[in-house]
Structure 1
Amino acid sequence: MCEDTYFINNGMGACVSMEENTRILVVDDNALLRLGLTETFNIEPGFEPVGQAANGSEALELVRKLKPDVVTMDYQMPGDNGIETTRKILAEFPHIKVVLLSVFDSEEDIFKAYTAGVRGYLTKKAGEVEEVIEAVQEVAKGGTYFPAAIAAKLEERKEKDDLTPREMEVLQLLAEGCSNKEIVDRLGISLPTVKLHIINLREKLNAADRTQAVVHAFKQGILHLNA
């Protein structure tokens, strides 16, 4: 008798290896991309696409129901984005592997995804379908997949100081065009404290003034135009 459940009897008394397919959930708010990835995994040996989701809430619901091995996760989606959804999934199912597919390739976006627990990160503008397959194969085996350019940006970001939650609030208000007085009123803090936060933001973002701090924040992916 074959003791390993991944083996079957070949009819002649011998056990033949039958590798289990990697179960994949495809998450993307673009229906054509979802369909394309699903069809690709469907015809690729070793994969079993088990479902599709258009947003974070659908993804979490299907993960609970279908128990995939790997999730290919879109970054920008209605409601919870891919990073927030990844955190929720891994909080319940830490064994599931997530590969994030994003139009963003800034240090901050990559770092946020890494700290959320993704095992792979690919940019949609550069990532061909073959690379997505390679990434999923790698993470399914327990590895990680961060292309050289992505890995380099991640290492650079790890060396920088994080912005505090309060600094993020001040930065967001600066991006909205608020004056120091308006920030005082909005956050309920003193004017000297606001000025100190702006000084810290300028130092951390390597900016000459408040305007440049906002510009650098957008370039680095700390802020997004649709945020």
Structure 2
Amino acid sequence: MTIKVLLADDQALVRAGFRSLLARSRDVTVVGEAADGEEAVRLATSARPDVVLMDIRMPGTDGITATRRIVQAVPRCRVVILTTFDTDEHVFAALRAGASGFLTKEVEPAELRRAIAAVAAGDALLSPGVTRRVIERFAHREGVAAGADERLAALTSRELEAVQLMALGLSNQEIAERLVISPLTAKTHITRAIAKLNVRDRVQLVILAYESGLIRPGG
């Protein structure tokens, strides 16, 4: 199945570079290019891409606002944030807005293709832990979100353990080993937690874990 991708960046050369990289993939097609957030929202609504590669800093409507509007208008669409540095303070806000992860603009071609395939399949860009580190770095600045800890009360003790380990950066296999369960059971616990808490994916689940105080920065 072909993965439809929308490019959103105010620099034409950046868009051309990503389009050139993706043109080498037979299972990926670029369905549009946007030079600002407003255009990104409009194109996402009409073209219904599977993945949007979204720059944060754009004139007019920025990438954070555009991300929030896109995930609301096109729930099945996944947004991947493009940033120059993996410590960009705006990345955390974009993840909270509904982005499924982020990539630096220096990403290698093979990594870019793998990332697009992963988020299109419903996974989040948590591996190898860069996204988690960004969340950890900036989550404590926001404080505990109102009601976040109460939402976690819906989880079973086992689901809570699995979420805690996932928020620390462990994979399904590593969670399984730590809890002495199968990887499939570990994945099931995470999937059920996502459904019960009504979050989009693992990134949003990790953010909630930090906002609730379940995980402390550096813990």
TM-score for the superposition, normalised by structure 1: 0.58
The list of structure 1 runs, each at least 4 consecutive aligned residues, that deviate by more than 6 angstroms after superposition, is none
* Deviation (angstroms), 1:161: 3.9
Confirm or deny: 8 A CA contact 1:107 1:154 kept in the other structure.
no
Taking CA–CA contacts closer than 8 Å with sequence separation of 6 or more, which of the two structures ends up with the larger relative contact order? 2
**Cα gap change, 1:155/1:34 in structure 2, threshold over 3 Å: closer, same or farther?**
same
Confirm or deny: 8 A CA contact 1:56 1:81 kept in the other structure.
yes
Could you say what secondary structure the match of 2:66 adopts?
Answer: helix
**Cα gap change, 1:158/1:57 in structure 2, threshold over 3 Å: closer, same or farther?**
same
Structure 1 stretches of 5 or more lacking a match?
1-19, 165-227
Q: Which amino acid aligns with 1:25?
A: L
**Partners in 2 of 1:161 and 1:90 — Cα distance?**
22
TM-score for the superposition, normalised by structure 2: 0.60
Structure 2 stretches of 5 or more lacking a match?
146-219
CA deviation profile, 1:32-63 (whole Å, cap 9, x unmatched): 11112112222212111111111111111111
2:35 aligned to which of 48, 54, 74: 54
**Partners in 2 of 1:128 and 1:106 — Cα distance?**
18
Give the paired residue count: 144
Aligned to 2:108: 128
The percentage of aligned residue pairs carrying the same residue is: 36
Confirm or deny: 8 A CA contact 1:107 1:156 kept in the other structure.
no
**Partners in 2 of 1:141 and 1:51 — Cα distance?**
20
**Partners in 2 of 1:53 and 1:107 — Cα distance?**
21
Q: Which amino acid aligns with 1:59?
A: A
* Deviation (angstroms), 1:160: 4.2
**Partners in 2 of 1:33 and 1:100 — Cα distance?**
14
**Partners in 2 of 1:47 and 1:115 — Cα distance?**
27
Q: Which amino acid aligns with 1:42?
A: A
Q: Which amino acid aligns with 1:150?
A: T
Q: Radius of gyration: which is bigger?
A: 1
